[in-house]
Amino acid sequence: MATTTLKCIILAILFVAITPQLLIHAQQKVPCIFPFGDSLFDNGNNNNLLTLLKADYSPYGIDFVYGVNGRFTNGFNIPDILAQLLGFLNGVPPNRAGGGSNTVLRGVNYASGGAGILDETSLQLGQQIPMNQQLKNHQVNIGRIATILGNQTAADHLLRQCLYTVDMGNSDYVNNYYALPLTLTRILYSPESFAEKLIHEYSQQLTTLYNLQARKVAVFGLQPLGCIPRELFLYPPKGTACVDFINDAVRLFNTKLISLVRHLNTNLPGANFTYINTYGILSGNFAATLGIKVPNASCCEVNKITGLCVQDGAVCSNRDEYTYFDDYHLTQIVANYTTSRAYIAQTQSDAFPVDIQTLIQAQ
């Protein structure tokens, strides 16, 4: 019964997500949202970059109400769905499009496909906007907000009420540490020392975000990267469904990230950071809950070099039965499921210390 009820909730959210014309505009639960992250969060910031990491062509956006858009999925992604749950009818625009007018007061999305905690991550694939640059872009927009509101004090007051979501680290593993051919990073660092290196840098970045007045921050942990089609292609497992040594490294990072969230909340006055357990949400029986029949293969025809969809290539018709749209990225139905459990935790382990619904109520 519980599984059936949860599936009904997910499908109801999905219905809202793909039929925005039917939405009744609800009062926004926060004044603004600022997503930072990689391709799981990108909503078009990579479109104009010189990079192989783009989703500005068909079949990406095949189920999106406005068609091709730069999202690395068939429809809405996690920030889109979360924005809708928070009463934002149209979500927030990519930074490349939304930073120059009063729309910045509602927030902008800084995420970039291939972006990492480390500046050098994904550079072999072209341009991307790493976390350090995303923070610099946010500083520019804070200046715009201060100008619009008339002074920095008013801007700071607004910024402390906003929701910040951060999804970083996936690319640091997929396009750096576990990239092939063997990288210098993997030669120099053990999984333990690499996780430590990432967490050290991430701690500085999240502290910078706090110093820019962010007080309500949801930090998404890494998903089970050893189960994505790309890693299964590069490192074919023997007798297991996923690449265990990659998932072991991911869990190591996530454990350290939980400790970092606890440290930030303890040591930064007024800070409210929370950890979203993406790994746990996308483990266990989630596929059965959603009716997923293809858990570890891509829905679209993929380029074997990049793992992204072939432009105008073949695409499955039963997209709601796939976990992954291409070799890396979640389908819309799985993004809905992940977001719903991040927003309202279904189990105690979904979020630490609180889910996003509780986070936004923090004073």
Q: Return the active site residues.
A: 39, 326, 329
Q: Are 359 and 165 within 8 A, CB to CB? A: no
Total length of the chain:
363
Element (H, E) at 262: helix 244-267
Number of H helices, E strands in the chain: 14, 7
Nearest partner of 14 among 358, 226, 269, 319, judged by Cα:
319
List, in sequence order, the alpha helices (H) in 160-277.
Answer: 170-172, 184-188, 191-211, 229-234, 244-267
C-alpha 194/C-alpha 124 separation (Å) is: 19
Place of tokens 């092939």: 180
Which are the contacts of 232, defined by CB distance < 8 A and separation ≥ 6? 242, 243, 296
Which are the contacts of 5, defined by CB distance < 8 A and separation ≥ 6? none
Nearest partner of 361 among 216, 172, 179, judged by Cα:
216
C-alpha 91/C-alpha 33 separation (Å) is: 9
Q: Are 171 and 122 within 8 A, CB to CB? A: yes
Residue 147: phi and psi, rounded to 5, are -65, -45
224, 84, 62, 123 alpha-carbon torsion, rounded to 10°: -50
C-alpha 142/C-alpha 306 separation (Å) is: 35
Which are the contacts of 108, defined by CB distance < 8 A and separation ≥ 6? 34, 92, 93, 94, 95, 98, 99, 141
